[in-house]
Chains A and B, each alone.
Chain A
């Protein structure tokens, strides 16, 4: 049976359709999850997609954190059991939920940036990056206005020391992120947040490459490896 991967729609989610397409292309079954339902529908993993949940009012991701669905998602993710991938606004929501440390702030240019972006995969031990090789460079899409990753020096040192920087920008820092960090993971490796959009690099026709599909296939490998433990 194909793995079931949930894609959450908050009011103002925009890349939910794209995330669902990427899930389907990876061979899994996409399951639509609604922000107002405290129900994960028994999915095996969850993607928090990009967009402007709640119009980015207050702060990006700050209101989505309180959605009924998050009350189910946060404990399952924190325990290490549920793989969760937060893309762009999803990353912001993961930070606001304190599933990941740090925060995302305005790009250093103070402008929205849409560009094809090379990333270096630095941690292949997470639930979402197992299909990449260490140091592999991948071409995906970056499109965000508040994508500058910030955290205090101690947290940044800790992330680096524990290998929790998952992807880093290559070829110049597009938004002023501290230490060029594009994505990070939690201590269990099940929760990954990144600012760039792997789900927009899954079809040669519409994306700059198909490099992004690896995030979605990786979690399937992770789930099948985990399956016996849950049996």
Chain B
């Protein structure tokens, strides 16, 4: 028997093989539990069960998605830019001049429904630590958000809470929020999406990996003390669908302390700078379980941990709770013994608690074969003795059945082309204002003005432009641009095409700032993987993204999967959010959307087809979702990107804006409003199609008269159709077309554009 009452030691486990264990309550399937018994050759102790249950959860193990995610590696295009690929905390991309950037997007959907403020705040905190863990200084954040209908009561609870959480945490960390997107839809009520992206900058030589080499090296836990918050939080929460009892889970949402995280960032960067760590891992989902098993598996495979040395906020915590706690703002480092004093001194400077809790050990060849040996003791008694790789890398992998839902045919047959179109110019004008003022299309300022976009002084472009752009360092003009996009309506109509469209839009957004797209991250938000229809959407979406990335030469560097975004049997529209990162050699050449030169010619680049399936017009005006999404033409996207980048480099354009939600109508209105200048446009052909079609691979570009010929030659060189459709000037959006004309003063456009969110959130 154990000296500590109630302690389930390895010796106890051997002596009591038949003790019933709560694996099901911890979210484990019976066969998964049996496999643990097989690995260990005995029943697991309750501490080991805790480790396996969180490490093998959907959230940590990607057990349902892994077989599909492999394509991102298998189809990865050859890229000289990729310094670290998938599998680490985040991918690392070479951006030139010895600078590298690392970026990743991650979901915090379920916690943000339960407790919007803290759920969203800790989502930011988690992704920032992932970036920090790679050795980089986090330099900017973005967020992609989806909520239920804007006028729904619960949206008025969730949206302000999520935004205040992101604002509170990101602002307090001193990270500029440089953009993102916001959308609304029926399925997201009860299933909001909070996807947070962080980007970090480092020198090539500063890359850090999660590994624990060198027997005798110390394992140090630093940052916040461990408390009972978030026990089972992300891992169990993210793996369970909400039901009516979900509010009972409130205490399992983690609570964030951005001040501690700011100190942790500065402390960690100083530790890196002084070369005091040989391996590093942040503590996110699955906390100490994840950090110890992953570090050990990435190193010698051996580690001894004294769990009783973990500093606690609540001394009553059991070993199992310590292992599962998701207390925020913690990191684990592997430190050479000779450097421990200096390590502790740096932590002291930043008033960071640091505790040696164990050391790296050697393993025998037999132990290495089994997956290493991780031993944990609790007041001298062994409570964990397991091969760490079996938890971190060798979790279950499921080939979930998938099948195209039979309802898909009817959905696609319900063509948006059959919807009633505006019958005259007055109706066309009214619909233009309705689409422009729709939440999710209109001005996001109500949200973005709660975020600090200026801190660090390197933000070159931020909301409301197509993407965010930062200068990588003070002494360089080199910049990186980032955009995230996702369109659940398109993906619902055709998951393969819809995902490619999301990727294409993000690619186009980056290109519209003059940057060249380089790499991709993704956050795949879907319903239950146990539903074959959802799994089909997922399979199609991943295949679409992998194919698109292969075709345009932008490797996927990492990402995140969020399943179980559904209420009862009803899943959200599948919403892969795709982040694209691009590089610009000289940030002074960046393009923004606002029209700024009277007399400049407005060109429409690309080809417009009658494509309305899943469009903002169909959604806003008719509440309709059906038909097929716009066609994808990746070669055309690449050619458009080349034209935009070259136009920026050569100073041929003074504004550019991609076309997406709301088509040309919204792009023209936004360009006019962002620049505070009107535009006179002459449309050839059907005005409705010209204004509201959402065909891809299109952008509007404003070109001063002296650059007109050179710009046209550039477009022709790349085979991109360029139509001069208008002239900048005046104080209205003035449109003529073969069948008539309409005009909207900028003031009226502005009212429609800017009033949507304030009206819903503040009632003004």
Contacts and interface: CB of A to CB of B under 8 A. Distances in A.
B454 A143 contact: yes
Interface centre among B450, B460, B587 (most CB of A within 10 A): B450
A206 B458 contact: yes
A115 interface: yes
A20 B266 CA distance: 17
A114 B450 contact: yes
Contacts of A17: 456-457
Contact of A114 (B259, B260, B449, B460): B449
A156 B262 CA distance: 36
B351 A113 contact: no
A54 B168 CA distance: 14
A64 to B, nearest CB: 12
Contacts of A55: 172, 257-260, 262
B588 interface: yes
A112 B450 contact: yes
Contacts of B698: none
A207 B174 contact: no
A21 B257 contact: no
A200 B454 contact: yes
Interface string B336-357: 0000000000000011000000
A171 to B, nearest CB: 15
Size bracket, chain A contacts: 20 to 34
B471 A54 contact: no
A210 B458 CA distance: 14
A21 B457 contact: yes
Interface centre among A50, A57, A141, A143 (most CB of B within 10 A): A143
A12 interface: yes
Interface string A1-32: 00000000001101101100100000000000
B566 interface: no
Contacts of A18: 454-457
A52 B171 CA distance: 9
A143 B452 contact: yes
A50 B450 CA distance: 16
Interface in B450-483: 450-460, 471, 474
A203 B173 CA distance: 23
B292 interface: no
A56 B260 CA distance: 12
B259 A200 contact: no
B259 A112 contact: no
Nearest to B474: A21
Nearest to A24: B474
B363 interface: no
B26 interface: no
B411 interface: no
Contact of B455 (A14, A54, A111): A14
A205 interface: yes
For the complex of A and B, 4 pairs with smallest distance between CB atoms: A55-B259, A14-B174, A18-B457, A200-B454
Interface of B: 164, 167-168, 171-174, 257-260, 262-263, 350-351, 448-460, 471, 474, 587-588
Given A18-B454, A51-B174, A55-B257, 9 more contacts: A14-B173, A52-B172, A112-B167, A113-B449, A114-B451, A143-B455, A200-B454, A205-B587, A206-B454
